[in-house]
Chains A and B, each alone.
Chain A
Amino acid sequence: MKKLRLTSVAAAAALAFTSLVAYAPASNAKAKVVTLAFQGPLTGEEAQVGQDELAGMLYAVKLFNAKNKGKYKVKVVRADDQGDPAQAAKVAPGIASNNKVIGLVGAAYSGATIASLPYYKQRLLPMVSPSATRVSITDPGAEGGALGLPVFHRVVVTDKVQGPSLFKLATKGVSSPKVFIVDDQSAYGVGLVDYMKPSIPAGQGVGFDSVSDKTTDWSATIAKIKTAAANVVIYTGYFPQAAVFFKQLRDSGYTGILAGGDGVLSPNFVTLAPASVLEGVRLTAGTVPLAEIDAKLEADFKKKMKKASGVYAAESIDAANVFLSCIAKGVTTRQAMLPCVKSYKGKSLTGANLSFDANGDVAGGAMNGFEVKSGAIKFTGPIK
């Protein structure tokens, strides 16, 4: 009941907000007004991820509008799906039928993306997601085929790459790894483990557990880890639970390696546990923090957006730039946007070539490694 009421209130709010933004009169009469949309969790428990991505997109749009003053003015419509498929199915029809919207950055989460896809496919709204990493969305060989064709694209590499990379990073430098893997029962966490499994050498995976993301007490899982005498523990889930789990595991006397995927890589992760507990935690992500790309870029972002950039800021900027560069070429309709995105060839913020393959996946792309040092997440380079 609680959830239902929450989501319906949020839906009403989102609707009101959407119409407000979409129909606000253009302040600059001469400039051509073009509307893009963002979809992700803007309220609810996952709000930070969506708000951080939205800030990235708005930053790119801000730069674009300043550069094209008098020529184009890009507006952004916000669709709040709370990272929840049920909520996504409620907001997606509104965005899909709003003909002013010619491109969508999002959805942020894979589940929400899949729930929204039928509406966007029906109205041929091009999508570029900064962070939906579930393999099945673009995998033609997956059960049910590539779900996202023809509208879905993403600028981030998938969990098919992340799974093996995470295992590789976690066991790096360990002479006889005994790995215990814990997922959070989410599609993301379970999927990541499934993609990791084929890359685990015989005898190295000593145990698995699947723990609800509502769990506060981890003693049972910790007891299993101790029984298995594991020296590497990998958690595939999100940062709030990771912080609690790692804390309880370390406090129980565990001294081995701790590792997690991109769900754990959040600036907030390190605020949720003592620095001494998180020291040395190894993380993977397809993303690179803005500050690691260029400190000046991060400083400019902070100045313009009045907050530090978050996870997937770089990818959100990259995703927005795909649409913005098409707009700069004169594309102002949905019909023209889709082929423009498909044939897009540009550079990502990191300087790598950015284009999409036939299924909408980013061509090339690598996983990056990170490590927590003195209470901060430090980039340690691509995982080879």
Chain B
Amino acid sequence: MIGNFLDQFWSLTFGGLSLGFIYILIALGYTMVYGVLRMINFANSEVFMVATFATIIIVRDVYKFTQTSEYATGFQLWLILGTALLASMAVAGILSVLIELIAYRRLRRMNSGVLAPLISAIGVSMVLAETMRILTDSRPVASPRAMEKKFIGKFFDADIRLDNTIIIVAAIILLLLLLTFVNKTRLGKAIRAVSMNPNASKLMGINIDGVVSITFLVGGLMTGAAGFFYVLKYENSSFSIGFELGIAAFTAAILGGIGNIKGAFYGGLSLGLLETYASFFLGTQWKAVTVFTILVVVLYTKPNGLFGEALTQTRA
């Protein structure tokens, strides 16, 4: 078994890493909002789901790809990937901001406590999932293949595939941009200030509502990018995937320590790799058991997750 594992180690690791980066980006949607508002935005999972459909619509309806089309190459390929990524991010970002405006802002102003926004968030996620269920006739929807899944090289014995490589490289770039934004810009500083002490920030003249909107926008953009990467890798979506991926990403956020970017990063990577290795060793049916046992053990020793600190203290 160990010998087999070593044979397959690098292909498993690449698969786990690209899945992990998708988890990280969704986990950031939870973590950013939690860092600022101390509130779990359960609707984030459905923002992800909607974003996957944005990518599918771009590839299938705007660029008119079908399951029997020739693959795109060269400039056309990068144009398609670029538009799909930007469209998914834009859709998810705007949707997140709207959700905050409609479902949370008034509750926040009225100091409604923690339960009302929680239910409101679950309500929003149900509305989004059920609407999509009706629109798609409850059926899974495939994204036609625009990019050939070709091997671009070998690392030890493992084939390196183009889509996994794109996901890992692009996700790292997005993460670096996010860290720069949070740590180096005035808006980022405002976000950290509100996260640290909302009342004091208000007294300093920071527009709290503006900061909250920006936080939702940034979380949405990251989640939207995850939607694009998901479709690039798995080429399908359905109204119900938000729930599955949302739970996984939320677990990643908790595992790493919710409310901080570093936590989302390590949580997502650990979860992606853990799931893949555990499935190989014990059989896929043991995946959930292994992952959640490890989660409980981690929380038992470190109740705030691996990196339980606030967004405020995050360093690159």
Contact = CB atoms under 8 A, between A and B. Distances in A.
Interface in B191-231: none
Interface stretch (A97-105, A123-131, A205-213, A332-340): A205-213
B67 A274 contact: yes
B280 A253 contact: no
B304 interface: no
Given A2-B243, A274-B67, A223 B12 contact: yes
A220 B276 contact: yes
A226 B288 CA distance: 23
A362 interface: no
B137 A227 contact: no
Contacts of B280: 220, 223-224
Contacts of B138: 43-48
A224 B139 CA distance: 30
Contacts of A227: 4, 7-8
B38 to A, nearest CB: 22
B68 interface: yes
Interface in A185-230: 185, 209-212, 214-217, 219-224, 226-227
B168 interface: no
Interface stretch (B102-110, B142-150, B169-177, B256-264): B142-150
A271 B144 CA distance: 8
A252 interface: yes
A272 B240 contact: no
B284 A275 contact: no
Interface string B226-263: 00000000111010110111000000000000000000
B44 interface: no
A244 B238 CA distance: 12
Interface string B119-158: 0001000100110000001111010110001010000000
Interface in B274-316: 275-280, 283-285, 287-288
A291 B53 CA distance: 32
B268 interface: no
A240 interface: yes
Given A220-B12, A220-B284, A244-B234, A271 B142 contact: yes
Given A217-B275, A223-B11, A247 B68 contact: no
Residue among A214, A216, A272 with max Cβ neighbours from chain B (10 Å): A216
Interface in A15-55: 43-48
A120 B144 CA distance: 45
Contacts of A60: none
A209 B279 CA distance: 10
A375 interface: yes
A217 B19 contact: yes
Given A220-B12, A227-B8, A375-B68, A240 B137 contact: no
A185 B287 CA distance: 13
A223 B142 contact: no
A126 to B, nearest CB: 30
B161 A217 contact: no
B161 A251 contact: yes
A240 B130 CA distance: 19
Nearest to A224: B280
A374 B66 CA distance: 13
Contacts of A219: 11-12, 15-16, 19, 276, 279
B310 to A, nearest CB: 30
Given A223-B8, A275-B68, A375-B68, A252 B238 contact: no
A210 B283 contact: yes
B239 to A, nearest CB: 9
Contacts of A45: 138, 238, 240
Contacts of B126: 2, 5
Nearest to A6: B130
Contacts of A251: 149, 161
A272 B144 CA distance: 8
Contacts of B245: 216
B19 A253 contact: no
Contact of B159 (A240, A253, A272, A375): A253
B279 A220 contact: yes
Contacts of A363: none
B276 A226 contact: no
B238 A240 contact: yes
Contacts of B276: 217, 219-220
Contact of A375 (B67, B130, B145): B67
A217 B15 contact: yes
B235 A247 contact: yes
A25 to B, nearest CB: 30
B12 A273 contact: no
28 contacts: A2-B129, A44-B138, A185-B285, A210-B283, A210-B284, A210-B285, A212-B284, A216-B234, A216-B244, A219-B276, A220-B276, A220-B277, A220-B278, A220-B280, A220-B287, A222-B11, A223-B8, A223-B11, A226-B8, A247-B235, A248-B234, A252-B159, A271-B67, A272-B140, A272-B142, A272-B236, A274-B145, A375-B68
The 4 tightest CB contacts between A and B, nearest first, are A220-B279, A219-B15, A223-B8, A272-B142
Interface of B: 4, 7-8, 11-12, 15-16, 19, 67-68, 122, 126, 129-130, 137-140, 142, 144-145, 149, 151, 159, 161, 234-236, 238, 240-241, 243-245, 275-280, 283-285, 287-288
Given A219-B276, A273-B142, 14 more contacts: A2-B126, A5-B126, A211-B285, A214-B244, A219-B12, A220-B287, A221-B284, A224-B4, A227-B4, A243-B236, A244-B234, A252-B11, A272-B140, A275-B67
